A and B are shown apart, each in its own frame.
Chain A
Amino acid sequence: MSPRARVFAAYAALVVLGLAAPFLVYPVFAMDVLCLALFASAFNLLLGYAGLLSFGHAAFLGSAAYVTGYAARSWGLPTELAILAGVATATVLGAIFGALAIRRSGIYFAMITLGFAQLIYFLVVQLPWTGGEDGLQGIPRGKLLGLVSLESNLAMYYFVYAVFLAGFWLLHRTIDSPFGHVLRAIRENEPRAQSLGYDVDRYKLLAFVISAALSGLAGSLKALAFQFASLSDVHWHLSGTVVLMTLLGGLGTVMGPSVGALVVVTLENYLSSFGSWVTVITGAVFVACVLSFRRGIVGEVRMLVKRSFSA
């Protein structure tokens, strides 16, 4: 198969699976997977392609979830505008945090983003309009373009799915664009990319902002799909979970983060009755991944396919 045909086949499979999903599994579960898959894919642009480990991505998902929820519930904004408000918030936060965080690299970058995310967490806990421990509840889903009601889970699912596809496609295009290739060059050898005349900081910042904006989009969708936004959306646990999804699915692969999101959400769903064992198992999967599974599921499959073809 030519690469082009392979991409086409992958998208065809994605479309068929996505259309059939709500009849195979519970639509709310499917929406959860899609939101986190978009989140992990956005995160992967940063870690997988630019080599920047953000340990605070929950800040973008969470802040967008809260703003969208508040806009839809208390201001009565239409669904599209509420989503826009959430994404705008995440984008602005991404620009500010990104501009500061890229002043350091490597390990420090991770610690700085974690610190900023904690700042957002404290703000959400203390601000008067976020509902503190209870979070924002009873967020209305509204009507799409003022016509189609999204109150039924099935309608909401197809809306989330359409937005997911658009976001996924956008990320895919970004990765394959000249911009994406410069990001890879920076990941591999930053001084060299710089000496070739690329303004490394601008590329990093732009990647950070795109990643934050799409993480925000995932958060806005999540708030509407579940009709609430809670502290766990801004907690560092979620920032860790998105790293795990990306790592487990396959770092720096287009499909990997979505596969990782599917696996992790399924796992959490099945284990939810076991309480704190979820944390233990998440941690153990983390350790196992880092020690002996660094290519992730998609990366390993790709290696297998390559090997069987060359043999």
Chain B
Amino acid sequence: MIQALSGQLLVGLINGSFYALLSLGLAIIFGLLDVVNFAHGAQYMLGAFAAWMALTYLGIGYGWALVLVPIVVGALGVLVERLFLRRLYGIDPLYGLLLTFGLALVVEGLFHHAYGNSGNAYPVPEALQGGVSLGFMFLPIYRAWVVLVSAAVCGTSWFVIERTRLGAYLRAGTENPKMLQAFGVNVPLMFTITYGFGVALAAFAGVMAAPVYQVSPAMGSSIIIVVFAVVVIGGMGSILGSIVTGVALGLVEGLTKFAWPEASGVVVFVVMALVLLVRPAGLFGRQR
């Protein structure tokens, strides 16, 4: 009983870590660029696939993938911002959503064509294999690693955005990009870097996810819809808010899987409906 419950809570905590990482990236991009990055899921999938391909074709292991893949995919993100997104600033933000939706379809379709529907397994790296017994449950080391690393990444991002000079520029740009430009900051460059960073974060989450889930073309779109609901529940107003909401919803999902497994797929959307009823602006959001 306790074992089953704590097992599901652990799975929930893992899922929640990914929700937090992804909604953090979405919130950073949306805050500055006013673009809802629908391609976030595809970029996460791209990260997982890049890690898998690096291992399968080039023999590059997990450690290097964790560093290299976010850089490569982030560079692709920079390209996307320069080539496409840049042309849409200043018009209705809905077009940014539609453009990134189109990009997501292209990426997902290409991988679907090349690798089919089925998932590919990515082995857990040797150093992180095995687990420890906590008495009431068995804790696989890789899962603990996922939770710790995403906590560290989320914490660092929060610190950089809220406590450093660079973060101050970012927050100023979120409030009023024109004013910031008037002070001599290169705002267009900041937009590019921010988008690239958000995409790199998604790819990083993808590499982390590769040994946990099956690496498949559909892994991005199935998670991004849940992450959108997370974002609606938390509100994109605050960085800390999106992290907390992500983890909390992962746990709620885990609890539901324990208590009523059939409902675990829909519980996030039910919570979304409830939050809209009582606090339309989201738990941490400002109405805008």
Contact = CB atoms under 8 A, between A and B. Distances in A.
A87 to B, nearest CB: 23
A291 B84 contact: yes
Nearest to A292: B87
Interface size class of A (residues with CB under 8 A): 35 or more
Given A107-B36, A283-B109, A112 B103 contact: no
B113 A275 contact: yes
B228 A287 contact: no
A278 interface: yes
Contacts of A26: none
Contacts of B54: none
A103 B279 CA distance: 9
B225 to A, nearest CB: 5
Contact of A279 (B98, B99, B109, B268): B109
A119 B269 CA distance: 6
Interface string A152-168: 00000000000000000
A294 B106 CA distance: 19
Interface string A89-129: 00000000000110110111011101110110011011000
B231 interface: yes
B153 interface: no
Given A104-B280, A291-B87, A280 B102 contact: no
Contacts of B232: 104, 108, 111-112, 115
Contacts of A101: 276
Contact of A122 (B93, B103, B266, B281): B266
A112 B113 contact: no
B265 interface: yes
Interface in A270-288: 275-287
B228 A115 contact: yes
Q: Binding site of B, secondary structure by majority: helix, strand, loop or mixed?
A: helix
Nearest to A118: B225
A306 to B, nearest CB: 21
Interface of B: 30, 36, 84, 87-88, 93-95, 97-99, 101-110, 112-113, 221, 225-226, 228-229, 231-232, 262, 265-266, 268-270, 272-273, 276-277, 280-281
30 contacts: A53-B94, A53-B97, A101-B276, A107-B97, A110-B36, A111-B229, A111-B232, A112-B232, A115-B225, A115-B229, A116-B269, A118-B225, A118-B226, A119-B270, A122-B269, A240-B101, A275-B113, A276-B113, A277-B113, A278-B109, A282-B105, A282-B109, A283-B109, A284-B106, A286-B101, A286-B102, A287-B106, A290-B102, A291-B84, A294-B95
